[in-house]
Structure 1
Amino acid sequence: MFIGISFSCFYQAIDAIDNGINQFDTDKPPRYVNNTNLSSRVGRLNLDWMDPNQSPEKENEAFQQAMALAGSEFLDSVRFHAKSWLPARSIVMECIAGRYDTDPSGEIMVLKRFTPWKLHIFELEEEMKVDPPIKYVLYEDNRGKRWRVQAVAISPDRFESRKPLPAQWRGLTDDELSKEAGIPGCIFVHISGFTGGNQTYEGALAMARTALKI
């Protein structure tokens, strides 16, 4: 069912573009235009009006290229959902269900293993009736074997966080940050407050717990 929903979004965008349906319910023009979507790339395969050869054979050749492009994109989407999207969804669902084992607030989630959680957390929160919403996600940075604490965005398409890490921590690093936060092992907090790091899981959890109270 979930793959079916996601594939409907794959087709919905293409169909909406072909039928001239606006992406947003507003009269304001978009801040920027994206000309790299599938419909645009297929459209660029049409014969150029300056091309002297406008024969049916040339047109059919362009059509074959368009079919190959669209088919390849569809198969890539199938592979992604089967091998990545669904496994990630299962992991995130399990971690959301166990969030109270991490903290009694229910507002901190720990990933048992790193996975692209941002694709799923908003949808799963709604399905699982999560209240209060999750504010922070903890996961291990496999590159440095250190722990990250990341603030959850207010929505999938926004950069603003539901509860950014405290303003007094932002832009600080290492000992200066550890002293300000009163938590050992701190590494950094981004200037926007959307993410930070600690040497240990315990330290990252302490950062998230403290941030909830500020």
Structure 2
Amino acid sequence: MATENPSKKLRVDGPLIGTHSGHFHADEALAVSMLRLLPTYSSSPLVRTRDPAVLSTCHTVVDVGGEYDDAKRRYDHHQREFTTVFPGHDTKLSSAGLVYMHFGKEIIATVTGLPSGPDLDILYEKIYTDFIEAFDANDNGVSVITPKDLTAANLTKKFEDRGFSIASVVNRYNYTQSATPNAAKSKEDQQDEEDARFQKASSFVGEQFVIEATDRANAWLPARNAVAKAFSERLQYDAQGRILVLPDSMPWADHLYNLEKETPRPDGVAPQVLYVLFPESTEPDSKWRIRSVSKENSGFENRKDLPNPWKGVRDEELDKVSGIPGCVFVHAAGFIGGNKTFDGALAMAQKAVEF
């Protein structure tokens, strides 16, 4: 268990990791958990302290100490002069970003088994963009959209989402207290309890990272070729290329957005795909889904909803409203629907693009 007691910290099985004691945050929780995914640190103990003498005995220190020096394995970002960012990004790094920048490729390779090469490079950038950068921004007080811009646009939140983020989950572990009042405990016992709460938080964010990395490696990366093939064949389903047909359910959105930007567009072809079709399962008689393509980086807003008269309607009633047999449903929000057959789903898409 992590402790500030120097006599305990010397009992090491791996290189000693140090971070600060007291209130903890998502960035150092993630930094520690990522390090421990590497063989070098897999059995490393952790010391949580602000004592420079104790930190000086650590092999690797994150988020404390006022020093960033990769050669010395020091990864703090609180110095006034610190301005380091991940290549190609503008967000100042936190301890999570620093650890990821220096160890990320090795960590991803360890977790996923990917060898060095283009796929690993792609995943390294993708995971920073979609996962790590938010930790850096949160710890450095950077909002997705600045409050002054929201005010200038006269926009207000529809609901409060402060408790919904990974950072808010980590923060809750700071306040998970035992039944025994602190006044009745020794300082060492209090520190042990705080360290145990940090370990739970670190395990939680580490698990999220592993899920992110493995899903990207096992599903997102392999989908690139399948989506590219479907994109090249889209004109057989719609002369303007507004319908994409996939052979299976897979992560397609990122790849589609990139293909639309990168691929030369012939005259008469629409600039964007509006609907994506895919089977619900790999069974030969699988039902098919039709999905509206979301506007890039816009959450739940679609490029083109499924037709309003279809929304919230099911089965035979939807057959009548749409004029297409075999309909199963269209969601009330208009972003997804289903049909019993591929031909039926394609007919829904072909009618919807002209609606």
Cα displacement string for residues 159-190 of structure 1 (whole angstroms, at most 9, x for unaligned residues):
23222222233333333433333323233333
In structure 2, how many angstroms separate the alpha carbons of the residues matched to 1:15 and 1:167?
Answer: 41
Tell me the CA shift for residue 14 of structure 1.
0.9
- Quick one: which amino acid aligns to residue 7 of structure 1? I
Worse overlay, 81-90 or 55-64: 55-64
In structure 1, how many angstroms separate the alpha carbons of the residues matched to 2:147 and 2:141?
Answer: 14
- Quick one: which amino acid aligns to residue 238 of structure 2? D
DSSP-derived class of the 1:35 partner: helix
Shift of the 64–90 alpha-carbon distance from structure 1 to 2, 3 Å rule, reads same
In structure 2, how many angstroms separate the alpha carbons of the residues matched to 1:195 and 1:47?
Answer: 41
Contact 2:260–2:271 under 8 Å retained in 1: no
In structure 2, how many angstroms separate the alpha carbons of the residues matched to 1:108 and 1:138?
Answer: 8
Give yes or no for the alignment of 1:2 onto 2:122.
yes
Shift of the 172–72 alpha-carbon distance from structure 1 to 2, 3 Å rule, reads closer
Greater Rg by CA: 2
1:43 maps to which residue? 171
Cα displacement string for residues 85-109 of structure 1 (whole angstroms, at most 9, x for unaligned residues):
2123332232222212322210000
Contact 2:327–2:339 under 8 Å retained in 1: yes
DSSP-derived class of the 1:145 partner: coil
Contact 1:153–1:162 under 8 Å retained in 2: yes
Tell me the CA shift for residue 20 of structure 1.
0.8
1:92 maps to which residue? 227
In structure 1, how many angstroms separate the alpha carbons of the residues matched to 2:264 and 2:168?
Answer: 38
In structure 1, how many angstroms separate the alpha carbons of the residues matched to 2:247 and 2:261?
Answer: 21
Shift of the 41–158 alpha-carbon distance from structure 1 to 2, 3 Å rule, reads closer
Worse overlay, 200-209 or 59-68: 59-68
Give yes or no for the alignment of 1:204 onto 2:332.
no
Worse overlay, 70-79 or 58-67: 58-67
Contact 2:330–2:337 under 8 Å retained in 1: yes
2:271 maps to which residue? 132
Tell me the CA shift for residue 129 of structure 1.
5.8
Give yes or no for the alignment of 1:17 onto 2:138.
yes
DSSP-derived class of the 2:248 partner: coil
Contact 1:118–1:156 under 8 Å retained in 2: no
Q: What does 1:49-64 align with in structure 2 at a 5 Å threshold?
A: 51-52=182-183, 53=185, 54-55=187-188, 57-58=191-192, 59-64=194-199
Contact 2:280–2:288 under 8 Å retained in 1: yes
Unpaired segments of 5 or more residues in structure 1? none
1:164 maps to which residue? 305
In structure 2, how many angstroms separate the alpha carbons of the residues matched to 1:192 and 1:38?
Answer: 27
Alignment root-mean-square deviation, CA: 3.0
Tell me the CA shift for residue 48 of structure 1.
6.9
- Quick one: which amino acid aligns to residue 150 of structure 1? R
Tell me the CA shift for residue 154 of structure 1.
2.3
In structure 1, how many angstroms separate the alpha carbons of the residues matched to 2:328 and 2:260?
Answer: 30
Shift of the 203–76 alpha-carbon distance from structure 1 to 2, 3 Å rule, reads closer
- Match for 1:33 among 132, 155, 161? 161
Tell me the CA shift for residue 67 of structure 1.
4.1
Alignment: residue pair count:
214
1:195 maps to which residue? 336
- Quick one: which amino acid aligns to residue 234 of structure 2? R
Tell me the CA shift for residue 137 of structure 1.
0.8
Tell me the CA shift for residue 128 of structure 1.
3.5
